[in-house]
Every structure is written in C-alpha cells, then in structure tokens.
Amino acid sequence: MRIVINHLTRMQPGYICAAGIDLKTGNHVRPVLNGRLPAGLLKRNGGVLEIGAVIDLGTTKAAGSAPEVEDRNFSLENVKLIERMDPEPFWELLEQTSATDLASIFGPSLQVNGNTCAVDLHSGNASLGCLVPSELPRLSTPFGTSVKIHATDGSFRPTLPVTDLRFFEEDFQTPNLAAVALASRRMRSGDEVILSVGLTRAWRKPNDTVSRHWLQVNGIHLKQDPLGEAFDDL
C-alpha cells in the first residue's frame, strides 16, 4: 500500500502520528503499530516521514473501528520511501480528496461541543479528511503555550487545536511563532488553504462526563507552498 503523507501530528515528546492518502483509492490511511510511532521516523531525524512523502507501507491489515476506520497495522521493517511528490500534484491530490463541509467528512455524528466539535464513542463515518474552509482561517497562540485555528465550513465555526508538528519547536510543546506568523501572513495575502482535519483518540475532558473524539487540525497546506518547504528554514 502506497500513501502520500498529509497529516503529521505532534504527540507527547518523542512520538508522532502520521496519516496519508491511498494513491489507489483516494481514501485516508493511518498507519498504526502496537505502540505509538516514534519521532525517529521523521525525515529530519533520519526517517522517511514528511509532508508529501510517498510511502510504501508494504502489507497492511485493517485495524480500525468507528470513527477510526482508517487505522491499518503495518510493520516498520517494510516501510520504504518512494519519493517526495512535487508541489503541484500534491496540491491537486489535496483538492481532489477535499470536502467543503465537515459533515461530509465525519458524518452527522459530528456535533458542536462548547467552542469546538466532537464525535461520541463508536460513532461517525471517519476520523480523517481534508477541508476547504469557507472563510479565511485565523491562527492564534493563546498564552504562548498552544496553537489554535479559527475556521468555518459555513455551518460549524469551531476554534480548534493545531497539532501540525511544523508549528511547534523540537520539544513538540512550544509553539513555533515564526511558522504561525508565516502561515498567517500568507493566508491574509489571499493564499488558498486546505486543512487536514482529524479526530483525536477518545478522551474525557475534565468538565465532561464521557470520553469523546475531539476535532483538531493536523495539517495546514497553502497553495503557493503546499509541501511547506518554507517552514523547513524556520
């Protein structure tokens, strides 16, 4: 199975989550192990994972359940880097696999919850997708400890956490303010944006009564630099 990486997510220090688009089907795929993916798989750490990388996972096995239907088990020893897709075809792939509304991606189980959105346990059509927002998104860094994006599809207007690891320093905790500023300038200048969106693994917020899958933004892609090569120099 060959996928093109368009989600690269920070987890706790030393670990990441990655997902991509299956070149045969156009569906999203999340490669999973028995444990978490180590950050050593990142290209910058000598591995193979970066935005736009075409990865051969070898033989995979379906391992998901609603809403995480994209999960597929794979073996690290079988992973091969084929190439890095050129910017233009990568952007075209994002466009071809994008929706203009969140309900088309996640289904009717996605509901407003406070100033964000969530899906209940064992519900929903998917946990990954690409969204073309209906209005210009806005980035912010509340208290300098997180990165948020204010986005809308015309129906939902959530404020979402950004987990795109390019917007954080090497510790995966500190916001990369230069990256936030660069993306903000480009969006304000009229650059088109596609968001790689996803649902978290289920967890319970302190003020909630049950665990839910929470909406977040795993990747911010800009048409003039869809691979985010400018972020590499920040």
* Helix intervals (H) in 82-161: 87-96, 102-106
Please give the pLDDT value at position 214: 98
Burial grade of 119 (CB within 10 A; 0-12, 13-18, 19 or more): buried
The answer, yes or no, to whether residue 72 has pLDDT greater than 90, is yes
Q: Are 138 and 29 in contact (CB under 8 A)?
A: no
Name the pairing type of β-strands 138-140 and 37-38.
unpaired
CB atoms within 10 A of CB 171: 9
The pLDDT value given to residue 234: 82
Contacts of 48 (CB under 8 A, 6+ apart): 41, 55, 79, 80, 81
Residues 171-192 have pLDDT tens digits of 999 999 999 999 999 999 999 9
Q: Which phi and psi (to 5°) does residue 180 adopt?
A: -60, -45
Greatest C-alpha distance within the chain: 46
Strand partners, 199: 215
DSSP character for 49?
B
By CB atoms closer than 10 A (0-12, 13-18, 19+), residue 213 is buried
Question: Per-residue pLDDT for 119 more than 90?
Answer: yes
What is the Cα–Cα distance from 6 to 54, expressed in whole angstroms?
10
Rounded to an integer, the average pLDDT of 98-119 is 97
Strand partners, 53: 84
**pTM of the predicted model, to two decimals?**
0.97
Task: Give per-residue pLDDT as tens, 11-50.
Answer: 999 999 999 999 999 999 999 999 899 999 999 999 999 9
**102 close to 73: Cβ distance less than 8 angstroms:** no
Local confidence band at 232 (pLDDT 50, 70, 90 cut-offs): confident
Evaluate whether 130 touches 197 at the Cβ level (below 8 Å): yes
Q: Which helix (H) or strand (E) holds 168?
A: none
